[in-house]
């Protein structure tokens, strides 16, 4: 087994104990990355010499931080001093970050070695990771399929051992969707749990920063670093599920579901019940919560990009340009209505948390779609693929709730994700349940590299 | 609204914001689909809410 196949926690422990050096770990990861990059393109930029220099510097230090010498990758939407900061767009070609984002500073302070810049959907404004400027990142389980997005490069890099963990952003599902479609773990924490300073905005009232990795424990460690909450999440990981009230939504909104995904989800629920969780059916106006996310996303993104759209509307890829134009045309009263509706729904969600401890859903209703597949058939009806991919994730961006995606099986030989959502600030509960599920579920295969 | 009317409306709205785009390339169907999806907001009683940012107490 290559060192690149260790989990983040295993690699960090091995370095701390002196069993391996940061240089050895980095060489293993770079070897993997240089083989994977031409096929799946997880990175927009990778400078092996820069990574080696950093590893050698770390090797000279006494291990101190949680991530000492551990390779971690940032989505190219998060500033990293001295590295390209393209946000996946030709409009920013040649831009180099002059300062670190706050989360970058925290990773460096914890000892991480930053490896490459992860591929993404242009300006994070899409969930397929099909990027007309740089080509698509590809799914490690089937390169003809999308890895999901917008943090698609992050998920591919983690799934294939090109890095141990990655930091992405999630505005409508952009951490959880690629995590689910590539078979890795990802968490969107509570809104404003992790600082967004130095992260290029998509829709500021929906933007969240969150980690992806291969295990729940690994994302817990990364989240502790990103949120500056040492020990808070890892300490809870041993808790069981006995007595946990698990809310499962019902109604037509949740019935738009690929049968293989439905089967994996039901199996995951049985597994959780086998560990002591109790299933409770919950009702909530999910479609309205999703509409809130749609309105806020389109208008806020159009506001962020208004100046560039006026100057160079055709400098964007066609899909992003079209979404920005739609956002510029939405009536202001719809935006204000969405802001008011979000507050009403947030208030209603307080009632929900009186009757359940967590909510469980599939992360994405379908397995990874083929690249270029704009319409997907589910249960005999045709759906817009992009709307399908965000259907189960964006309500929780509107509400700002912590939401984890953890792999729960395969449909059509492609990974499926289980989404666990908790009350505000209860990342520890979400991660503990995810870890308990992961233990009960057992090992799943990894993609062949 | 008929497609031609929606296209003309969209073009005028964009021009008012200083954006000039070939009218034939406008994402009219996408705008229509989004407007339809946003109708779900009409089912939420917002009479007691003011517009403002999401704020959760804590942590």
| C-alpha span between B19 and A307 (Å, rounded) | 9
What ipTM was estimated for this complex? 0.96
Looking at the complex, report in whole angstroms how far the Cα of residue B18 sits from the nearest Cα belonging to chain A.
6
**B54 token code pair:** 């999401």
- B49, A341: Cβ pair inside 8 Å? yes
Looking at the complex, report in whole angstroms how far the Cα of residue B16 sits from the nearest Cα belonging to chain A.
10
- B44, A285: Cβ pair inside 8 Å? yes
Please identify which residue in the block is written with the tokens 């090109």.
Answer: A162
A292, closest residue in chain B (CA to CA): B41
A339, closest residue in chain B (CA to CA): B51
What's the pLDDT at B52? 86
Q: Which of A241, A235, A300 is nearest to A268 (CA)?
A: A241
> Given B21, B35, B52, which is nearest A343 (Cβ)?
B52
- B56, A191: Cβ pair inside 8 Å? yes
What's the pLDDT at A278? 98
- A313, B20: Cβ pair inside 8 Å? yes
SS (H, E, C) chain A: CCHHHCCHHHHHHHHHHCCCCHHHHHHHHHHHHHHHHHHHCCEEECCHHHHHHHHHHHHHCCCCCCCCCCEEEEECCECCCCCECCCCCHHHCCCECCCCCHHHHHHHHCCCEEEEEECCCHHHCCCCCCCCCCCCCCECCECCECCCCCCHHHHHHHHCCCCCEEEEEECCCCCHHHHHHHCCEEEECCCCCCCCCCECCCCCCCCEEEEEECCHHHHHHHHHHHCCCCCCCHHHCCCCCCCCEEEEECCHHHCCCCHHHHHHHHHHHHHHHHCCCEEEEECCCHHHHHHHHHHHHHHHHHHHHHHHHHHCHHHCCHHHHHHHHHHHHCCHHHHHHHHHHHHHHHHHHHHHHHHCCEEEEECCCCCCCECCCCEEEECCEEEEHHHHHHCCCHHHHHHCCCEEEEEEEEECCEEEEEEEECCCCCHHHHHHHHHHHHHHHCCCCCCCC
Please identify which residue in the block is written with the tokens 């810049």.
Answer: A117
| C-alpha span between A155 and A387 (Å, rounded) | 20
* Residue A234 near residue A427 (C-beta atoms within 8 A): no
| C-alpha span between A325 and A298 (Å, rounded) | 9
Looking at the complex, report in whole angstroms how far the Cα of residue A206 sits from the nearest Cα belonging to chain B.
9
What's the pLDDT at B59? 72
Looking at the complex, report in whole angstroms how far the Cα of residue A373 sits from the nearest Cα belonging to chain B.
16
Residue B59 contacts A, CB cutoff 8 Å? yes
- B40, A290: Cβ pair inside 8 Å? yes
- B44, A288: Cβ pair inside 8 Å? yes
**A41 token code pair:** 């393109």
Name beta bridge partners: A409.
A416
- B27, A342: Cβ pair inside 8 Å? no
Please identify which residue in the block is written with the tokens 């964009």.
Answer: B14
> Given B20, B39, B56, which is nearest A425 (Cβ)?
B56
| C-alpha span between A121 and A110 (Å, rounded) | 28
Q: How far apart are the first and last CA of chain B?
A: 47
Which portions of chain A are predicted below pLDDT 50?
A: none
What's the pLDDT at B54? 87
What's the pLDDT at A29? 98
What's the pLDDT at A5? 97
What's the pLDDT at A143? 98
> Given A291, A329, A345, which is nearest B31 (Cβ)?
A329
Residues of chain B in contact with residue A325, where contact means CB-CB under 8 angstroms, are: 10, 14, 19, 21, 26-27, 31
Q: Which of A404, A399, A386, A414 is nearest to A352 (CA)?
A: A399
What's the pLDDT at A394? 98
- B26, A325: Cβ pair inside 8 Å? yes
Residue A202 contacts B, CB cutoff 8 Å? no
Residue B22 contacts A, CB cutoff 8 Å? no
Looking at the complex, report in whole angstroms how far the Cα of residue B4 sits from the nearest Cα belonging to chain A.
16
Residue A387 contacts B, CB cutoff 8 Å? yes
Looking at the complex, report in whole angstroms how far the Cα of residue B13 sits from the nearest Cα belonging to chain A.
6
- A343, B56: Cβ pair inside 8 Å? no
> Given A295, A325, A345, which is nearest B21 (Cβ)?
A325
DSSP state of B42: G
Residue A374 contacts B, CB cutoff 8 Å? no
- Averaged pLDDT, B19-28: 94
Residue A342 contacts B, CB cutoff 8 Å? yes
Residues A416-435, buried b or exposed e (16+ Cβ, 10 A)? Answer: bbbbbbbbbbbbbbbbbbbb
| C-alpha span between A246 and A136 (Å, rounded) | 37
Q: Which residues of A are catalytic?
A: 75, 150, 174
Cis amide linkage into residue A340, ω under 30° from 0: no
- B43, A193: Cβ pair inside 8 Å? no
> Given B27, B48, B51, which is nearest A325 (Cβ)?
B27
pLDDT class for B55, splitting at 50, 70, 90? confident
């Amino acid at each position: 087994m290559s060192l690149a196949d260790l989990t983040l926690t295993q690699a960090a422990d091995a370095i701390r104990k002196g069993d391996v050096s940061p240089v050895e770990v980095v060489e293993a990861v770079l070897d993997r990355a240089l083989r994977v990059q031409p096929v799946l393109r997880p990175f927009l930029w990778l400078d092996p010499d820069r990574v080696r220099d950093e590893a050698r510097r770390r090797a000279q230090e006494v291990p101190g931080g949680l991530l000492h010498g551990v390779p971690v990758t940032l989505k190219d939407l998060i500033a990293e001093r001295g590295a390209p900061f393209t946000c996946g767009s030709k409009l920013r070609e040649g831009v180099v970050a002059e300062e670190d984002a706050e989360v970058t500073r925290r990773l460096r302070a914890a000892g991480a070695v930053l490896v490459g810049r992860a591929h993404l959907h242009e300006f994070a404004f899409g969930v397929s990771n099909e990027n007309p400027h740089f080509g698509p990142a590809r799914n490690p389980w089937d390169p003809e399929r999308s890895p999901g997005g917008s943090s698609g490069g992050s998920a591919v890099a983690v799934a294939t051992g090109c890095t141990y963990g990655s930091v992405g952003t999630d505005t409508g599902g952009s951490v959880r969707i690629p995590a689910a479609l590539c078979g890795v773990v990802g968490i969107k924490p509570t809104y404003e749990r992790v600082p967004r300073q130095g992260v290029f905005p998509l829709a500021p009232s929906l933007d969240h920063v969150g980690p992806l990795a291969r295990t729940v424990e690994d994302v817990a460690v990364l989240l502790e670093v990103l949120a500056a909450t040492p020990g808070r999440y890892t300490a809870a990981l041993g808790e069981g599920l006995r007595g946990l009230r698990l809310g499962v939504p019902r109604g037509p909104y949740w019935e738009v579901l690929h049968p293989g995904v439905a089967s994996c989800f039901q199996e995951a629920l049985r597994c959780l019940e086998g560990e002591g969780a109790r299933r409770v059916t919950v009702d909530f106006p999910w479609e309205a919560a999703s509409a809130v996310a749609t309105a806020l996303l389109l208008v806020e993104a159009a506001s962020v990009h208004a100046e560039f759209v006026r100057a160079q509307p055709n400098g964007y890829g066609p899909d992003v340009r079209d979404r920005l134009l739609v956002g510029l045309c939405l009536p202001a009263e719809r935006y204000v209505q969405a802001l008011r509706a979000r507050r009403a729904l947030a208030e209603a969600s307080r009632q929900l948390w009186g009757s359940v401890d967590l909510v469980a859903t599939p992360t994405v209703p379908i397995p990874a779609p083929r690249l270029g597949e704009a319409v997907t058939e589910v249960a005999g009806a045709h759906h817009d693929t992009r709307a399908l991919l965000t259907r189960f994730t964006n309500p929780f961006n509107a509400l700002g709730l912590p939401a984890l995606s953890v792999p729960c099986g395969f449909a059509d030989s492609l990974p499926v994700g289980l989404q666990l959502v908790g009350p505000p600030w209860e990342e520890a509960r979400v991660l503990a349940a995810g870890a308990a599920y992961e233990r009960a579920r057992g090992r799943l295969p990894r993609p062949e590299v | 609204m008929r497609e031609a009317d929606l296209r003309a409306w969209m073009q005028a709205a964009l021009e008012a914001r200083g954006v000039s785009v070939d009218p034939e390339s406008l994402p009219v169907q996408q705008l229509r689909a989004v407007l339809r999806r946003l109708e779900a907001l009409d089912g939420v009683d917002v009479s007691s809410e003011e517009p403002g940012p999401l704020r959760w107490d804590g942590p």
